[in-house]
Amino acid sequence: MEDRKVKILTEYMPEKAALLIAEWIDKYKCEFKITKSRESKFGDYRAPYQGAGHRISVNHNLNRYAFLITTVHEFAHLLTYNQWKSRVKPHGTEWKNNFKRMMIPFFEMTIFPLDIEKALAKYLKNPAASSCTDQGLFSVLKKYDVKQDSEYVNISEITENQIFEIKTGRKFKKLTRNRTRYKCLEISTGKIYLFSPLAEVKAIS
């Protein structure tokens, strides 16, 4: 079972990292799922509830390095919950300290390309709620993506006031950015929606 777990994880992250993540899954009795792409987030952690244990999910379409960083991010939530339950902020000092500590073994494995290692080290000085909100790290990680559909780009790559379409066919106009999201106007309803910088959209001329 352990070998099978490592084999599956190795499809999504470097093999040396997969060995340690498999150990964490067992150690913390965590249900770990690889999910379809979600425009609003890379990964998710759910605390034990009504008989269910720890649950972590990570988007399947992340490149190997983004997948690993997101996985460690979510395991840092798990460890923080074990230590503090819900008594601390989700991305407060306790989580930040755990995230930094849990990333150390992967630096020691020297599995990251040098540009990612440098950007990640800088990001970890004060990690945010999502790696996608740190433009330095996000832009470096994007270099390692395999483009599946050249028509679609991240919303951060199109200009303000550009009309765009999402994969369901709904059309929006890109407005201003707040701290972590882009405000966008839906053309058909006039409603304002917030989009993650991760959102993949198609510009319409």
Domain around 162: 153-203
Identify whether 183 is part of a domain: yes
159 and 125 belong to one structural domain: no
The more confident residue out of 180 and 25 is 25
16/62 same-domain check:
yes
What CA–CA distance (Å, rounded) separates 136 from 94? 23
Mean pLDDT is lowest, of 101-105, 146-150, 193-197, for 146-150
* Residue 147, in any domain of the structure: no
* Rg of the chain over all Cα atoms, to the nearest angstrom: 18
Residue 59 belongs to a domain: yes
The pLDDT value recorded for residue 107 is: 97
> Based on the domain organization, do 100 and 194 belong to the same domain?
no
182 and 95 in a single domain? The answer is no
Residue range 70-75: mean pLDDT, rounded: 97
- Note the pLDDT tens digit of each residue in 28-65: 999 999 999 877 788 999 999 998 999 999 999 899 99
> Do 113 and 182 lie in a common domain?
no
pLDDT-derived band at 147, boundaries 50, 70, 90: low
